[in-house]
Amino acid sequence: MTSSLKKTSPRIGAHVSAAGGLKNCIANAENIGATCIQIFGASPRQWNTSMPSEEDVRAYHETLKKSIVEAIYLHAPYLVNLATLDKEMLKKSVALLTAHLKIADSIGARGVIFHIGSGKGRQKEFMTAHVVEAMKEILSSVHGDTQLIIENCAGGGDRIGVTAKEIGDIIRKIGSPRVTVCIDTAHAFEAGIIDEYSAEKIHALFDEFDKEIGIDRVVALHVNDSKTAFNSHHDRHENIGEGYIGLEGFKNLAREPLVQHMDWILEVPGFDDTGPDKKNVDILKKLFSSL
């Protein structure tokens, strides 16, 4: 291959820890060779959030400037549920997601990736309207271009945000370019919207997202193998090649034209169970170098 024909491949990275100071996430990214990362902006299991200090943000920007990291995403706390019918819970969820969107804005992150949640036993249309209102409120309280990034979930119960159509309905009703999408490969499989990662089925899946929301709106991929079977509705991630999707599935994914512009982010347990590691990053990089 001549250099003029050099293919541009997606950024590859992972969820990394920012414990002990924001700037630490950059060193953690570089240790595993990640050029795009996801972090928690604050504790993922707490309702009270504090903004990072100016000094923390300054040190982070200094470190970031000299690093290989090109794109940063925040993952919202697991407590957020915008589809809940409990008024108090909804209020707290809106406030929490707003706070995290502010943090994302203050550190120059692309946006906050979040799960919509579930609203037990009510009509999906009702819940969708409800989610739309909540998301509009959050966007209006944080200016700038930081995105609210909907992640598809593993389904089951009354969870919202499983299919391209469901996510598309919400996006159309909000009508803001700041609402984008992250597709998790394990969740799609566990939710039952793709039964195998063959070339044809991968293309059909992303083609549906393209028709519903426009593929450019899918900004990130959570690249995870699945520890649980197709349609299990059970969200358990596995290292690349060790789960039900398998290495062949990810090889097929790397060849799919519709996913090349997305940031590939690992959320796998790691081969030493210490979180996404260099080995998983290297497996993904190799998928592209061997194309």
Cα–Cα distance list, 86 to 83, 120, 192, 258 (Å): 9, 10, 28, 39
**Least gap, CB of 134 to Zn ion (angstroms):** 21
Q: Which amino acid is at 115?
A: H
Which single residue brings its beta carbon nearest to Zn ion? 222
- Site for Zn ion contains 184 (CB under 5 A): yes
How far apart CA 75 and CA 96 sit, in angstroms, is: 12
We find the least distance from the C-beta atom of residue 140 to Zn ion, in angstroms, to be 26
Q: How many residues bind Zn ion (CB under 5 A)?
A: 3
The answer to whether the CB of 234 falls within 8 A of the CB of 154 is yes
Q: Cα-atom radius of gyration of the chain, to the nearest Å? A: 18
CB of 187 to Zn ion, least distance (A): 6
**131/150 with CB nearer Zn ion:** 150
* 3 state DSSP class of 28: helix
Residue 99 CA to chain centroid, in angstroms? 18
Q: How far apart are CA 49 and CA 43, in angstroms?
A: 8
Taking the complex as a whole, the smallest distance from the CB of residue 267 to Zn ion amounts, in Å, to 5
By CB atoms closer than 10 A (0-12, 13-18, 19+), residue 88 is exposed
Please identify, using beta-carbon distances, which residue of 64 and 188 lies nearer to Zn ion.
188
d(CA 169, CA 117): 16
Amino acid type, 193? I
Euclidean distance between CA atoms 27 and 39, whole angstroms:
13
Q: Which stretch binds Zn ion (CB under 5 A): 35-43, 87-95, 157-165, 183-191?
A: 183-191
Using CB under 5 A as the binding rule, whether residue 263 contacts Zn ion is answered as no
Q: How many CA atoms within 13 Å lie on the side-chain side of 149? A: 31
Would you say 64 or 221 has its CB closer to Zn ion?
221
Nearer to Zn ion, 182 or 254 (CB): 182
**Token code pair at residue 248:** 């062949």
Interaction residues for Zn ion, span 86-145 (CB under 5 A): none
In whole angstroms, how close is the CB of 184 to Zn ion at the nearest point?
A: 4
CB of 182 to Zn ion, least distance (A): 7
Q: Which is nearer to Zn ion, 115 or 217 (CB)?
A: 115
Judged by CB under 5 A, the stretch of 45-53, 54-62, 104-112, 263-271 that binds Zn ion is: 263-271
Query: Could you tell me if 101 and 66 are in contact, meaning their C-beta atoms sit under 8 angstroms apart?
Result: no
- Check binding of 225 to Zn ion (CB under 5 A): no
Tokens of 146: 């930081």
Stretch that binds Zn ion, among 3-11, 18-26, 41-49, 179-187 (CB under 5 A): 179-187
222 forms part of the interface with Zn ion (CB under 5 A): yes
Between 11 and 222, name the residue whose CB sits nearer to Zn ion. 222
227 belongs to the binding site for Zn ion (CB under 5 A): no
Q: Give contact residues for Zn ion (rule: CB under 5 A).
A: 184, 222, 267
